[in-house]
Amino acid sequence: MSVRLRFAPSPTGHLHVGNVRTALVNFLYARQHGGIFMLRMDDTDTARSTAEFARAIEEDLHWLGLNWDTSAHQSHRREAYDAAVARLKQSGRLYPCYETPQELELRRKVLLSRGLPPVYERTALDLTDADRERLEAEGRRPHWRFQLNQRPVTWDDGVRGPVSFDTASLSDPVLVREDGTLLYTLPSCVDDIDFHITHVFRGEDHVTNTAAQIELFEALGGAPPAFAHFALLTGAGGESLSKRAGSLAIRDLRAEGLEPMVVNSLLARIGTADPVEPFLDLAPLVYGFDLGKFGRSAARFDPHELEVLNARIVHQLHYTDVADRLPGVSEALWDAVRANLTRVSEAQDWRRIVEGPMEPVIEDAPFLAQAADLLPPAPWSGETWAEWTAAVKQETGRKGRALFHPLRLALTGREQGPEMKALLPLMDPKAVRARLARG
C-alpha cells in the first residue's frame, strides 16, 4: 500500500506557522514517497467552524504550493461516526457517565489534595440499570467514555524513537458529549481507518493522546498508523508561540509581501540538523526530507529569519517569476534593482524613481550644474555612468563620496540603492537634466 498522510485543520481560525509546519512535514513525506497527501477539515465543531475559515485554509495551502490529492469534511461523515459509536457501545468499550462538570472538578481537586493523579475513577462502571434510569429521570444525560485497557501501549515514534505509555495513568477519554456531539478523538481515528492513513505526523503535545488512540484503533478493528511527534515551535526567546499565533497567521505573512517559499524554506528546516537555506521551489525540500534529522529540542522560530530569507529569495527570482505581479516594470529594471530589494513589490518604488515624477534631494547645486553640463548625449548604455563620472571627476577634482553621493541623491532621492550604471540608461535624459538643475 502506498503511503497516505493527512493534514487535518479545524476551520475555526486562520492557519499560522505552527499549523503549516505540520502540513508541510506531512506533504514533504508524502511527495518523497510517491504517496497521497490528504486535506481533511475537522469541522465537527459546528459552533466555531465556518466555511469562510475553510476557504481561507485552502487559499493559504495553495499559496504555499501544498496542494492536496484528496479531501474530506468530517461534517459530511456523521453516519460513519455514529456506526463506530454503536460498535463501541455494543462491545462494552464505550460506557455512559452521568457526572456533571462540577462534580468531576470537585473529584479532581480531592484526588490532587491527596497527592493522587487526577484520573477518572470509573465510578460509572458500577452503576446498575436502575441507577442509570434514576439519573436520567432526574434530567441527567450521559457523556460517553472509552474504556482503556490500562496497559502499556508502545510504538516506534519516527522522531522520539521507542515510546511506551501506560494507559492506566490516563482517564478514560470522553468521545461523546452529553449533547451527542463528538470530540476530536473518535472522528479522527475513524477517518484514519476509512481513508487508509498510514502515517500521522504531528506535534509532541499529542503524545499522550496517541496511546489512547492506538487502543481506539484496535477497538475499531483498524491498524494504527505510524506516528511521529515533533518538538513544538517556540519564539526566538524560547516562549510559547501559542499566544502569538494570531500575529503569525499565514494570511498576514502573505499581506506583508513575503514569498511562499520563504515560509516553506524556514519551516522545513528549523528543528533539524540541516541549515536553513532559501529555496525557490519545493523539490529540494522533498528530496532532502529526513525524519531522522529532527531533534527533540524545541524548534526556535524567529520571524526575523523570514525577512532575511525573503531578501535572499527575491535576489534569485527571474523576471518571468515576478512579471505578472509588477505591471509596468520592465525586465531591464527588474535586473537592475532586484539585488537591492527585500520584497518584490519594492520594484515598483524604483520604477517611480526611474520614471518619475520625483522630488530630488539637492546636496550641492553648483556641483550638480557642472555635472549636468558634462552629461554625455543620449542614448545611454551601461558604460555611460562611468564615462560621465570620470568626466565630472576630471573637471571638478572630486572623487569618492563627494563625487557620487550628490549625484545619487539628485537622481534617485535615496542614500543607497542599485548601481547607478544600471539605473541611468533607464532614465529619460530630459528628466535627469531637470533633476540636476532643480537646485
pLDDT in tens, the chain (439 residues): 699 999 999 999 999 999 999 999 999 999 999 999 999 999 988 888 999 999 999 999 999 999 999 999 999 999 999 999 999 999 999 999 999 999 999 999 999 999 989 999 999 999 999 999 999 999 999 999 999 999 999 999 999 999 999 999 999 999 999 999 999 999 999 999 999 999 999 999 999 899 999 999 999 999 999 999 999 898 877 777 754 445 589 999 999 999 999 999 999 999 998 999 999 999 999 999 999 999 988 888 989 999 999 999 999 999 999 999 999 999 999 999 999 999 999 999 999 999 988 889 999 999 999 999 999 999 999 999 999 999 999 999 999 999 999 999 999 999 999 999 999 999 999 999 999 997 5
Set of cell numbers at residue 389: 563620472
Q: What is the pTM of this model?
A: 0.91
Pair 43, 74: CB distance under 8 Å: yes
CA distances from 196 to 1, 186, 222, 327, 402 (A): 9, 15, 9, 47, 71
Look at residue 47 in the predicted model and tell me its pLDDT.
83
* Rama region for 200: left / alpha / beta (φ>0; ψ in -120 to 50; rest): beta
- The Cα–Cα gap between 271 and 348 comes to 36
- The Cα–Cα gap between 199 and 289 comes to 15
Helix locations, 114-259, DSSP H:
129-137, 185-194, 207-219, 250-255
Residue 44 CB neighbours (<10 A): 20
| Three-state DSSP state, 253 | helix
Sign of the Cα torsion 336, 339, 340, 344 reads positive
Specify the long-range contacts of residues 130-139, CB closer than 8 Å, at least 24 apart.
132/96, 132/98, 135/98, 136/98
Instruction: Please tell me whether the peptide bond between 425 and the residue prior to it is cis, using omega within 30 degrees of 0.
Output: no
Pair 14, 210: CB distance under 8 Å: no
| HSE, side-chain direction, 13 A CA sphere, residue 72 | 22
- The Cα–Cα gap between 312 and 431 comes to 33
- The CATH class for the domain spanning 80-176 reads alpha beta
Multiple choice CATH, 4-70+185-232, 3.40.50.620, 3.40.630.30, 3.20.20.70, 3.30.70.100? 3.40.50.620
Set of cell numbers at residue 59: 487559499
Strand 233-234 to strand 299-300: parallel, antiparallel, or no bridges (unpaired)? parallel
Pair 371, 435: CB distance under 8 Å: no
* pLDDT tens digits, one per residue of 236-247: 777 777 544 455
Strand 226-230 to strand 161-166: parallel, antiparallel, or no bridges (unpaired)? unpaired
* pLDDT tens digits, one per residue of 57-84: 999 999 999 999 999 999 999 999 999 9
- Residue extents of the structural domains in the chain: 4-70+185-232, 80-176, 356-437
CA distances from 262 to 257, 280, 358, 390, 396 (A): 11, 8, 33, 42, 47
- The Cα–Cα gap between 14 and 50 comes to 11
Look at residue 299 in the predicted model and tell me its pLDDT.
85
What is the CATH topology of the domain spanning 356-437? Arc Repressor Mutant, subunit A (1.10.10)
Set of cell numbers at residue 1: 500500500
Look at residue 236 in the predicted model and tell me its pLDDT.
75
Unique residue bearing C-alpha cell 530569507: 309
Look at residue 244 in the predicted model and tell me its pLDDT.
47
